[in-house]
Amino acid sequence: MLGSHFWLFGFNFDTFSFFTYLAFLSSGGFFYWYSEKIGFGFWDFIVVFSVVAILAPAGGAALSAIEFHEPLSKLWHQNVGSTHLGGYLLALPVVMIAVKLLKANVLRVMDGVTLAWIIGYAVGRFACFFSGDGCYGIPTSSIFGMSFPHGIVPTLIPVWPTPLFESGYSIAIFVAFSFPHIQKRITEGRPGRIFFGASTLMFVCRFAVEFIRRNPRYDGLSLSQWICIPLVLIYASLYIWLASRKAKVVGVNPAFVGTIA
């Protein structure tokens, strides 16, 4: 844990900002690479990434203000934190509309957006972990407990290092849906499989980790958990639907399916 600032090569860096910018660079770099692989033009990439860069922080701050009962008017005056699900919910429909207007394959592009989101989320959670910004979990006596004495929100009591867990499962999901044969999966895989499947796992994991996070409860669950429930049901249903369509095609023409599976 680095605390609010750290020194590197003689320069003083704000820990949270450093990893936040690194998250945007990681997700943007991956999505640019993906866009080239599927023939999504440079300016198309700029449009989509700009939408995310503008709307995601705004949505995240808005949902955080709602969750922690802060007036929305404060969004324009001070930092009220950020809840990534808010950014996701605000940016997702606008991104899909933008891709549709750009006349690209929406599901194919959303596969790349999803992977970019996951790797960006993994790096972004390092911002919370290394800065000790208070996103850590509830106190624990387990061997996994960590204290953050020099954090932005310091604690000497061992707590669950939930940002580290979130980075871990995000990286695992990214790898599972990207490798092996990432080139073939991107150019030949059925569009939407990554979008629906990886998103389902991300929200299942987020739902689970919320049980050991320090967030307000509403009828026993956090706001993020209540949001995750319909998202998991929707994405899982769409993934199953997509898989069932594939199974029907296999029964008709296995040779053809081998070119798109």
Residues 151-207 have pLDDT tens digits of 888 889 999 999 999 999 999 999 988 875 565 666 666 889 899 999 999 999 999
**pLDDT score recorded for residue 57:** 84
C-alpha to C-alpha distance for 9 and 146, rounded to whole angstroms: 28
C-alpha to C-alpha distance for 131 and 191, rounded to whole angstroms: 38
Angle at 203 between CA 201 and CA 207, to 5 degrees: 115
Within a domain: residue 258?
no
Within a domain: residue 261?
no
With bands split at pLDDT 50, 70 and 90, how would you rate the model's confidence at 257?
A: very low
Within a domain: residue 257?
no
Half-sphere exposure (CA, 13 Å, Cβ side) for 115?
A: 24
Angle at 175 between CA 191 and CA 214, to 5 degrees: 105
Within a domain: residue 109?
yes
Short-list 111, 103, 261, CA closest to 188: 261
Within a domain: residue 231?
yes
Instruction: Quote the distance between the C-alpha of residue 158 and its chain's center.
Output: 26
Q: SS3 letters for 126-139? A: HHHHHHCCCCCECE
Within a domain: residue 22?
yes
Within a domain: residue 55?
yes
Domain interval for residue 160: 5-247
Could you report the per-residue pLDDT of 14-46, keeping only the tens digit for each? Answer: 788 888 889 999 999 999 999 998 889 999 999
Within a domain: residue 158?
yes
Short-list 261, 205, 259, CA closest to 232: 205
Total domain count, the chain: 1
